[in-house]
């Protein structure tokens, strides 16, 4: 079986050292704002989540899945949350650790995959966030079930995910401002691409990604026992695609019912 976890671990270690948007520590001003009681939290590259989504989180236990890189972990800790972060990339976690120390903040950091959360206790978190990470795993339902297990009753699950339409197009043409449909959906790097394309992707250290049907993203969420209580869409901040598609990323607020 293709080891997408190891491939993405290597890819994100590389990204962490090349200025990826998810690997740039937040500005000091945002940390100071969070410490003063005003949290500006992003789950996608653009747009803060509504304040109603994070109301009452101060002092609560928050699990950050795949959110290393000196951003959400730091802001939540500055806000007064008790934060645990799980990330497959050692380098992303190093950025978290460095940024936390620079601001005199603390969080619990674990190097591991969100596909294996058995080491975390059930009913132990008030909120789980997953900022932009679900497109790096092939199946969502098992992750949803784990998140449901980890949350206390009434706990919040906030995540962002790419619009499946983003995976339809020829990336090289798109970068030149030309949109051409190339792939059928759902897309999976390890099966949609030819072996030659996949080997080239691995050689260059790019991420392995998966699109997901809306039935999987939303239907499986409801099937697991969550109710969807908030929705936010945002652009990608990548001009070629934003010229064609406004709803590039979806952010969802779901609540554990049982």
Angle of CA points 61, 110, 130, to nearest 5°: 60
All structural domains of the chain, each given as residue ranges with its CATH number in brackets, are 4-162+211-256 (3.40.50.150)
Residue 239, classed as helix, strand or coil, is helix
pLDDT of 60 reads 98
pLDDT of 170 reads 84
pLDDT of 19 reads 86
Considering all CA atoms of the chain, what is the largest pairwise distance in Å, rounded to the nearest integer? Answer: 52
pLDDT of 176 reads 79
- Average per-residue pLDDT for the chain: 95
Which stretches of the chain drop beneath a pLDDT of 70? 1, 239
Residue 153, judged by CB atoms within 10 A of its CB (0-12, 13-18, 19+), counts as exposed
pLDDT of 12 reads 97
- Asked whether 188 and 161 are in contact (CB, 8 A), the reply is no
What does each C-alpha distance from 179 to 12, 166, 174, 229, 232 come to in angstroms? 27, 11, 5, 34, 25
pTM: 0.96
């Amino acid at each position: 079986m293709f080891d997408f976890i190891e491939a993405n671990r290597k890819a994100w270690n590389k990204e962490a050292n090349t200025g990826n948007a998810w690997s740039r520590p937040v500005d000091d001003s945002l940390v100071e704002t969070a410490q003063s009681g005003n949290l500006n939290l992003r789950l996608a590259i653009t747009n803060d989540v509504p304040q109603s989504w994070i109301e009452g989180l101060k002092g609560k236990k928050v699990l950050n899945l795949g959110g290393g890189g000196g951003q959400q972990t730091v802001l939540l800790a500055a806000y007064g949350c008790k934060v645990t972060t799980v990330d497959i990339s050692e380098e992303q976690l190093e950025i978290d650790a460095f940024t936390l120390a620079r601001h005199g903040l603390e969080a619990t950091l674990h190097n591991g995959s969100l596909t294996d959360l058995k080491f975390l206790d059930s009913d132990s978190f008030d909120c789980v966030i997953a900022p932009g990470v679900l497109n790096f795993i092939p199946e969502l339902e098992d992750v949803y079930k784990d998140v449901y297990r980890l949350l206390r009753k009434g706990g919040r699950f906030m995540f962002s995910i790419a619009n499946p339409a983003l995976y339809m197009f020829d990336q090289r043409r798109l970068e030149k401002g030309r949109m051409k449909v190339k792939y059928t959906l759902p897309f999976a790097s390890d099966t949609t691409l030819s072996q030659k394309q996949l080997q080239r992707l691995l050689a260059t250290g790019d991420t392995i990604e998966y699109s997901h049907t809306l039935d999987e993203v939303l239907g499986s969420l409801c099937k697991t026992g969550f109710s969807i209580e908030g929705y936010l869409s945002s652009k990608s901040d990548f001009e070629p695609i934003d010229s064609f598609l406004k709803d590039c990323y979806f952010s969802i607020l779901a609540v554990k019912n049982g």
